[in-house]
Amino acid sequence: MRSGMRLGVLLLGVCLLSGCGTGRTAMETFRVKKNLCYSSAEVVKGECEALVDLYFATGGRDWHRQGDWLSRKPVRQWEGVTVENRRVVKLDLGENNLRGELPDTLHSFPKLKELRLDRNQLSGGLPAALGQLKQLRVIDLSKNLFVGKLPSDWKKLGNVRELDLNGNYIGGEIPPWIDRWVELRRLDLHRNMFAGEIPPRLAALPQLQDVRLSFNLFRGELSPELLYGPGRTRVVLNRNKLTGPLPAPLPGTVIEYLDVSQNQLTGELPTALGEVPTLWRLDVSVNQLTGPLPPGLLGLPEMRWVSLGHNNFVDDLNQYWEDLHPQIKHLDLAGNHLWSGGALPLPRAKMLKLGGNCLRFPPGTSENVRLGNRRLWPQRAVDDCVRRSETVMTQTL
């Protein structure tokens, strides 16, 4: 009898030290573990206990979907828990009102492959304990309240294929150990507080396809390897502090989606950008780019979205208009120094922004038609504007 009491006190002490909580919560955690985990044959005891810790640490009673958690039903039937061979291999509790900090006992799932806790209200630092889960393939902690930096213990996670931390308050630089993540395919860090230059080691990752780093404080110049590396299909870098020119595409690039808008890029668009057959979305708007448009850009076979607005492009659109792809749905050329020597038939794009340029349109096109919230230019104004733009073009050349 006395030995049993001693064991209970010892286990309660361990619970308190391991982050189960204090007072009533600690007592309840200990009771639930004793009732559910000590005789469980369906899942390893330590993993059962770690699930109990997760429930109480993140306010399980207030979860939107509790789905049999802490019930006598098999653990594999608990909401968001996948079990194989008595091991938890997946936790998916996204958009479920989890609150607070994650418990240190997360390291108790050595076979865990997917951790999806997105769209909750989790806070504190990113859990360093995840660094011990070397079979992790997917980490999705997006749209929470995490702060701090990427834990150095995460450098051990060389099998991660997808990391999504978007919509948090994580800062610092992308660490040099990122080059150990050789299996990484998708990286989403947008809407955080990351800063510094984007490291070449990231661009060199051999499997990386999808990079999303927008709405941060990254600075420095772009490398062609980051934008057009082998297998790279999507790169989203808008709303940073990036400078310098937009690099020319590398031979064999398969980029489909490229967004570098709202930075501080300068120079001309590379001519080879109009020779990328896979490109369907390009956004370089709100930079300081200059010069003519790349031949063939508006007629690329997959092109559906082009946004070049609010730069300093200088060119006659007539030479490109016949090749304009009829399936383009979004065309933004507003706020440049573009003109048309002849009338331009209006394309069928659902979103059309041409204002702030010097463009002629077919007879009968109403002056009250608004393109990009700006009126079409009256004919005489167009003539004057074209002459001014031609002067600018001559000076530029």
Q: Per-residue pLDDT tens for 167-219? A: 999 999 999 999 999 999 999 999 999 999 999 999 999 999 999 999 999 99
**pLDDT tens, 227-281?**
999 999 999 999 999 999 999 999 999 999 999 999 999 999 999 999 999 999 9
Can you read off the two tokens belonging to residue 348? 């069928």
Which contiguous run of DSSP H or E holds residue 35? helix 23-36
Can you read off the two tokens belonging to residue 169? 């308050």
The region of weakest confidence among 19-23, 353-357, 393-397 is 393-397
Measured distance CA(1)–CA(136) in Å, rounded? 43
Q: Where are the beta strands (DSSP E) in 141-280?
A: 145-148, 162-164, 169-172, 186-188, 193-197, 210-212, 217-221, 234-236, 241-244, 257-259, 264-268
> 113: closest CA among 96, 93, 85, 133?
133
**pLDDT tens, 37-66?**
876 668 999 999 999 999 999 999 999 999
The secondary structure of residue 173, as a DSSP letter, is P
> 272: closest CA among 296, 254, 256, 255?
296
pLDDT band at 364 (very low <50, low <70, confident <90, very high): low
Contact present, 214 and 236 (Cβ < 8 Å): yes
Residue type, 388: R
The total number of residues shown for the chain amounts to 397
> 282: closest CA among 296, 303, 310?
303
Using DSSP's 3-state secondary structure scheme, residue 367 falls into: coil
Label residue 261 exposed, middle or buried (CB < 10 Å: 0-12, 13-18, 19+).
buried
Beta-carbon contacts of 384 under 8 Å, excluding residues fewer than 6 positions away, are none
Can you read off the two tokens belonging to residue 240? 């940073």
| The domain made up of 249-397 is a member of CATH 3.30.110.30 | no
Residue 78 has φ and ψ, to the nearest 5°, of -70, 145
- Give strand pairing partners of 122: 100
**Torsion, Cα of 78, 84, 90, 93 (10° steps):** -10
Return the domain boundaries, the chain: 249-397
Beta-carbon contacts of 31 under 8 Å, excluding residues fewer than 6 positions away, are none
pLDDT at 200: 96
Can you read off the two tokens belonging to residue 16? 């308190």
Instruction: Please tell me the pTM assigned to this model.
Output: 0.88
pLDDT at 368: 41
At residue 360, does pLDDT exceed 70? yes
Phi-psi region for residue 79, left (φ > 0), alpha (ψ -120 to 50) or beta?
Answer: beta
Beta-carbon contacts of 259 under 8 Å, excluding residues fewer than 6 positions away, are 214, 235, 236, 237, 238, 281, 282, 283
Measured distance CA(188)–CA(241) in Å, rounded? 18
Summarize the confidence of residues 350-357 as an average pLDDT: 86
**Where is pLDDT greater, at 324 or 12?**
324
Residue 115 has φ and ψ, to the nearest 5°, of -125, 110
Integer CA distances (angstroms), 205 to 166, 182, 198, 241, in order: 20, 6, 13, 23
Measured distance CA(328)–CA(221) in Å, rounded? 30
Measured distance CA(225)–CA(117) in Å, rounded? 32
Measured distance CA(62)–CA(51) in Å, rounded? 16
**Where is pLDDT greater, at 19 or 89?**
89
Average pLDDT, the chain: 87
Contact present, 317 and 344 (Cβ < 8 Å): yes
